Structures are given as structure tokens and as C-alpha cells.
A and B are shown apart, each in its own frame.
Chain A
């Protein structure tokens, strides 16, 4: 049981826009920023969005993040086949004094 809650799966067709939600509490998302990680099959995770809505260099602006209260979301526009991956949200939890992750969302490009 993950501390942050994500839908287990999401899907879309090429070119579509999809969103992935991440729900937490006042001790994590409610009091800290959210980072998003992309994990392609068989590889290590890679940071996609940090600080709720900032891009590391090299990440296309098709990916965007937002946060409101104790929830966050990742949006992917202009969906491409190479976006098929697992996506994880993460935040620092002040009560647990550690990082917590969502359970991950498997994105399928139909």
C-alpha cells in the first residue's frame, strides 16, 4: 500500500492528451513539492518533472505537472508510442521523515 495514490493504468492514442493523478495528504503533497519519474521497461527511473512543474533539461514540454492542495497531476500532450512507460509521483513526507512514492501508473499507447 503506497502512501501516495495513483491509478494503476492509463491509456491513450497517439496525439492525445492524458493525465495521471497523484493523491496524498497534508504531510506530503500538502506541504512539499511533487516530483514525477518515468520508468521505461527494463530501465532505471528518470526524473520527468520536479518541483511540481519544472522540467529537467532534455525533457520535452509535452510533459507538464501541476499541484493543488494534497493532489498533483502529470499531463502528457501529443502522446507518442515512446511515452509507453510506468510513471511515479514522489514527495517528501514530514511525518514519516522520508520520501514516499505513488504505486505507479502504467501508461499504454494504443
Chain B
């Protein structure tokens, strides 16, 4: 079965960087892209960007361009999301999610368990 297992919670100071990992299993890693979605406390879902696990091509939401880097390691079937220059409003649960496609429709079929990143001085 498809599983996405994320790294543990992090506490960072403002201005620091965080790198969250997402270990994929149960499918051919390079067949599907991975998106990252975050959720601030008590708030809604926010898409941060996408990476092709095969080519490594990325598409970042404009809000995060210049501050986020998404990568994959096909040898370990792991995706990574690094967010730099952290601010207090980056405090959120960060999810990796794998897309699926049925005909022309793409949707987020599988989700990691989430990683809480707390930014506090």
C-alpha cells in the first residue's frame, strides 16, 4: 500500500531554515509528482509547490518562490522540502501529498502524516 512517512516535528528560530523529508513506499516513486501543502494552526490548507519525482522539475507557488526548495532522492524514494528565512507565520503543519490521475483529473490521493514546524524565538 502507498505510504508517505514524514520526518518529526521541528522547532526553529526566526531566520533559520527547516528541511522536512517524506519517505515514499508502495509504488514506483518516479511515476508521480509530490506536492507540499501546509496548514497554519486553526487555518486552512495552502499549496506550496510541486516536484516531479522523475525529472526533478519544480513548480512553486509564487508566495514561496525564492524561499523554498523541493528536491527528491530517487535512490531512497524520499522527497524533501526546505524552507528558508523562517518567520513566525511559517508555524504550521507541513504535509507531503502524492497526486493520482484519473483521465484528465488530478487529485491528491495520498498524504503524509504531517510535520509540525514551530518558529519561535
Residue contact A101 to B45, C-beta cutoff 8 Å: yes
Instruction: Known A33-B105, A45-B95, A51-B107; judge A2-B62 contact (CB<8 A).
Output: no
Which A residues from 46 to 88 make CB contacts under 8 A with B?
A: 46-47, 50-51, 54, 56, 88
Contacts known (A35-B107, A51-B102, A98-B59); A44 close to B44, Cβ less than 8 A: no
**B interface, by DSSP: helix, strand, loop or mixed?**
strand
User: What's the minimum C-beta distance from B92 to chain A, rounded to whole angstroms?
Assistant: 13
Residues of A within 8 A of B114 (CB): 44
Q: Number of B interface residues, CB 8 Å?
A: 24
Q: Are B45 and A104 in contact (CB under 8 A)?
A: yes
Are B35 and A45 in contact (CB-based, < 8 A)? no
The interface of chain B, by Cβ under 8 A from chain A, is 35, 37, 44-47, 49-50, 59, 61-62, 95, 102-109, 111-114
Query: Interface of A with B (CB < 8 Å)?
Result: 2, 33, 35, 37, 44-47, 50-51, 54, 56, 88, 90, 92, 96-104
Q: How far is the CA of A102 from the CA of B45 in the complex (A)?
A: 8
- Can you show 23 pairs from A to B with CB atoms below 8 A apart? A37-B108, A44-B95, A44-B111, A44-B112, A45-B45, A45-B108, A45-B111, A46-B111, A51-B102, A51-B107, A54-B105, A88-B45, A90-B108, A92-B106, A97-B59, A98-B47, A98-B49, A98-B50, A98-B62, A100-B47, A101-B47, A104-B44, A104-B45
Chain A residues contacting B105 (CB-CB under 8 Å) are 33, 35, 50-51, 54
